[in-house]
Amino acid sequence: MSTSNPVTAVKLVLLGEAAVGKSSLVLRFVSNDFQENKEPTIGAAFLTQRCTIGAKTIKFEIWDTAGQERFASLAPMYYRNAQAALVVYDVTKPASFIKARHWIRELHEQAAPNIIIALCGNKYDLIEGEIEGEDAKRKVSVEEGQKVAEEEGLLFFETSAKSGHNVNEVFMAIGHKIPEKRSETERSAGDAAREADRVDLSNVVNDTQADGWVENGQICLKYSALYDDEAGRESMGGWYFPGNITQED
Amino acid sequence: MSFFEAIRSKAAQLSLFDKPNTTVLSKDEVFQKEFSLPALETIVDEISAEVCVIPPASKDTQGNNQFYQGKLYLTPKFLVFRDVYDRKMCLFALHLSTVKKLERVPTRSYVFALSVKTYSGFSFVIQFIGIRSHSEQFSHALKVKLKENLVNIKQLRPFVETLYSEYLVAKSLAASTGAPATGTRPGHTPGVLPGLANVVHPPGGLGLEFKYPGDAKALRDKSKMRFWFGYFRANGRHLALTRVPLFYKLVRVGVPNRLRGEIWELCCGSMYVRFKNPGVYQGLLNKYKDQESLAIEEIEKDLNRSLPEYPAYQSPEGINRLRRVLTAYSWRNPDIGYCQAMNILVAALLIYMSEEQAFWCLNIICEKQVPGYYSKTMYGTLLDQKVFESLVEKTMPMLAEHISRYDIQLSVVSLPWFLSLYLSSMPLVYAFRIVDVFMLQGPRTLFQVALAVLRINGEQLLESDDDGAFILILKEYFLTLDQSAHPNSPNEKYRSVTKFQELLVVAFKEFANISDEMISQQRDRHRDKVFEGVENFVKRTQIRNLPKTKNLAQAQLSNIYSRFYGVQSHAVDIGDDGGSLMDYYAFTELMAGIAPWGSVDHSLPLNRKDFMHRLFSTWDCENRGGLSLADVAVGLNRLVEPDLMANLSNFFAMYEKDGKVDRDGMLQMSEDLLFVTAPWRDGLVLDRITQKAIESAMADKIVELKKSSVGEFVMPSQVDVDRQKIEQAQTERYLSAASGFIQRAFEYAQPEIVEAAGEADLIDLGEVTDNTNALDKKNFSDEALVRLRANAALDPDHPVSLNLPTFRMVILADETYELLFSESFAHSIDIDTPISSSDKSNRNLRDMFDGLLADGKRVANEVRRRMDDASKAETSDTKESRPRSQTNEDDEDYAFGPNDNDKDLLNGAEVEGLNDVPLDGRGQSISELKHDMNLTERIDSKNADLIEFEL
- Min Cα–Cα distance to chain B from A48, Å: 8
Q: Which residues pair with A89 in a beta bridge?
A: A121
Q: How far is CA B74 from the centre of its chain?
A: 35
Q: What is the pLDDT of residue B183?
A: 38
Residue B870 has a pLDDT of: 53
Residues of A with CB under 8 A from a CB of B: 11, 17-19, 36-44, 46, 48, 61, 63, 66, 68-74, 76-78, 80, 95, 98-99, 102, 105-106, 109-110, 191, 194
The mean pLDDT of chain B is: 77
Q: What is the mean pLDDT of chain A?
A: 75
* Contact call for A70 and B375, based on CB within 8 A: yes
Q: Which residue in chain B has the smallest CA separation from A62?
A: B468
What pLDDT does B605 receive?
Answer: 67
The whole-angstrom distance between B537's CA and the closest CA on chain A is 6
A48-70 per-position pLDDT tens digit: 999 988 888 899 999 999 888 88
Residue B541 in contact with partner chain A when CB distance is under 8 A: yes
pLDDT digits (tens, 9 = 90+) for A190-241: 444 444 433 333 333 333 333 333 344 333 333 333 334 444 333 333 333 3
Whether B468 and A61 lie within 8 Å, measured CB to CB: yes
Q: How far off is chain A from B382, nearest CA to CA, in Å?
A: 8
Contact predicate A177/A116, CB 8 Å: yes
Number of inter-chain CB pairs under 8 A, A vs B: 114
CATH class of the domain comprising A7-177: alpha beta
Please name the member of A38, A68, A76 whose beta carbon is closest to the beta carbon of B298.
A68
Nearest Cα residue in chain B from A77: B412
CA distance B306 to chain A (A): 6
Q: Which of A203, A231, A235 has its CA nearest to residue A221?
A: A203
User: From the list A42, A70, A99, which residue is nearest B416 (CB)?
Assistant: A42
For chain A, say whether B1 makes contact (Cβ under 8 Å).
yes
3-state secondary structure B869-936: HHHHHHHHHHHHHHHHHHHCHHHHHHHCCCCCCCHHHHHHHHHHHHCCCCCHHHHHHHHHHHHHHHHH
User: Closest by alpha carbon to A60, among A175, A187, A198?
Assistant: A175
Q: Do A68 and B420 touch (CB under 8 A)?
A: no
User: Given B411, B420, B534, which is nearest A42 (Cβ)?
Assistant: B420
From B339, B381, B468, residue closest to A68, measured CB to CB = B339
Q: How much is the pLDDT for B22?
A: 52
Picking from A70, A78, A109, the nearest residue to B412 by CB comes out as: A78
Strand order across the B750-751 sheet? B660-662, B800-803, B750-751
Q: Are strands B242-243 and B91-95 parallel, antiparallel or unpaired?
A: antiparallel
Q: Determine, for residues B304 and A18 on separate chains, whether the beta-carbon distance falls below 8 Å.
A: no
* Chain B residues closer than 8 Å to A185 by CB: none
Mutation target for A interface from B315, B378, B530: give the one with most A CBs within 10 A: B378
- Please tell me the distance from the alpha carbon of residue A110 to that of residue B553, in angstroms, as a whole number: 19
Amino acid A248: pLDDT:
37
Other Cβ atoms less than 10 A from the Cβ of B215: the count is 10
**Rounded Cα distance, B89 and B242, in Å:** 10
Please tell me if residue B315 touches chain A, with a CB cutoff of 8 Å. Answer: no
What are the start-end ranges of the H helices in B584-687? Answer: 584-594, 611-619, 629-639, 644-653, 663-676, 678-681
User: Which residues pair with residue A186 across a beta bridge?
Assistant: A183
Are B567 and B611 in contact by the 8 Å Cβ rule? The answer is: no
- How far apart (Å, rounded) are the C-alpha atoms in residues B414 and B450? 7
Round to whole Å and give the CA distance between B257 and B299.
27
Domains, chain B, with CATH or none: 36-156 (2.30.29.30), 688-935 (no CATH)
Give the residue from A12, A26, A69, A139 with the most B CB atoms within 10 Å of its CB, the best one to mutate: A69
Q: Is B420 left (phi over 0), alpha (psi -120 to 50) or beta?
A: alpha
The DSSP output letter for B702 is H
Contact at 8 Å (CB) between A226 and A199?
A: yes
For chain B, count helices (H), then strands (E). Answer: 43, 13
Average pLDDT over residues A77-91: 93
**pLDDT at site B718:** 62
Per DSSP, B475 falls in state: H
pLDDT of residue B715: 60
Question: What is residue A186's predicted lDDT score, i.e. its pLDDT?
Answer: 45
Here the ipTM equals 0.70
B301 to chain A, any CB pair closer than 8 A? The answer is: yes
What pLDDT shows up at residue B3?
A: 41
Which stretches in chain B have pLDDT values below 50? Answer: 1-21, 60-62, 179-192, 195-196, 570-572, 575-577, 755-782, 793, 837-863, 866, 877-951
Domain extents in chain A? 7-177, 195-240
DSSP string spanning B328-359?
HHHHH-TTT---TTHHHHHHHHHHHS-HHHHH
* pLDDT for res B784: 53
CA B557-B560-B564 angle, to 5 degrees, is 140
**β-pairing verdict for A56-65 and A7-16:** parallel
Instruction: Give the distance, in angstroms, between the CA of residue A168 and the centroid of all CA atoms in the same chain.
Output: 15
CB-CB under 8 Å, B468 with A48: yes
Q: Which residues of B697-721 are buried (b: 16+ CB within 10 A; e: fewer)?
A: bbbbebeeeeeeeeeeeeeeeebeb
Residues of A in Cβ contact (< 8 Å) with B341: 40, 42
- The CA-atom distances, in angstroms, between B759 and each of B154, B411, B898 are 85, 84, 33
DSSP character string of B661-697:
EEHHHHHHHHHHHHHHTHHHHTTSS--HHHHHHHHHH
Residues B439/B499, Cβ–Cβ less than 8 Å: no
Partners of A40 on chain B (C-beta within 8 Å) are 301-302, 305, 340-341, 343
| Pairing relationship of beta strands B99-105 and B113-118 according to DSSP bridges | antiparallel
Cβ contacts (< 8 Å) between A37 and chain B: which residues? 304-305, 308
CA pair distance B402, B384, nearest whole angstrom: 21
pLDDT computed for residue A5 by the predictor: 65
In angstroms and rounded to an integer, the radius of gyration of the C-alpha atoms of chain B is 41
Measured between CA atoms, the residue of chain A closest to residue B542 is A102
In this prediction, residue B511 carries a pLDDT of 95
Percent of chain A at pLDDT exceeding 90 = 43
Q: At what angle do helices B342-352 and B355-364 cross, to 10 degrees?
A: 130
Smallest Cβ–Cβ distance between B3 and the set A69, A73, A109 belongs to: A69
Q: Looking at CA atoms only, how far is residue A215 from chain B in angstroms?
A: 31
Ordered alpha helix ranges (H), chain A = 22-31, 75-79, 94-110, 142-152, 167-177, 189-194, 201-207, 223-226, 230-235
- Can you give the pLDDT at residue B797? 62
Q: Which residues pair with residue B69 across a beta bridge?
A: B50
pLDDT for A96: 94
Please indicate whether, in this complex, the C-beta atoms of B298 and A43 are within 8 angstroms of each other: no
| Identity of residue B638 | R
**Shortest Cα distance from B354 to chain A (angstroms)?**
23
- Rounded to an integer, what distance in angstroms lies between the CA atom of residue B428 and that of residue B440? 18
- Pick B377's closest partner by Cβ from A66, A73, A98: A73
Of A116, A126, A87, A89, nearest to A104 by C-alpha is A87
Contact (CB<8Å) B412/A46: yes
* Structure letter (DSSP) for residue A208: T
> Residue A21's closest chain B neighbor by CA?
B301
Q: CB of B123 within 8 A of CB of B51?
A: no
CA distance A213 to chain B (A): 29
Residue of B nearest to A195 (CA): B407
Q: Distance (Å, rounded) from C-alpha B129 to C-alpha B116?
A: 17
Nearest to A46 among B424, B471, B541 (CB): B471
Angle at A15 between CA A14 and CA A19, to 5 degrees: 100
Evaluated on CA atoms B61, B66, B68, B73, the torsion sign reads negative
Q: Which of B633, B647, B622 is nearest to B550 (CA)?
A: B633
pLDDT of B871 reads: 57
Burial of B594 (0-12, 13-18, 19+ CB in 10 A): buried
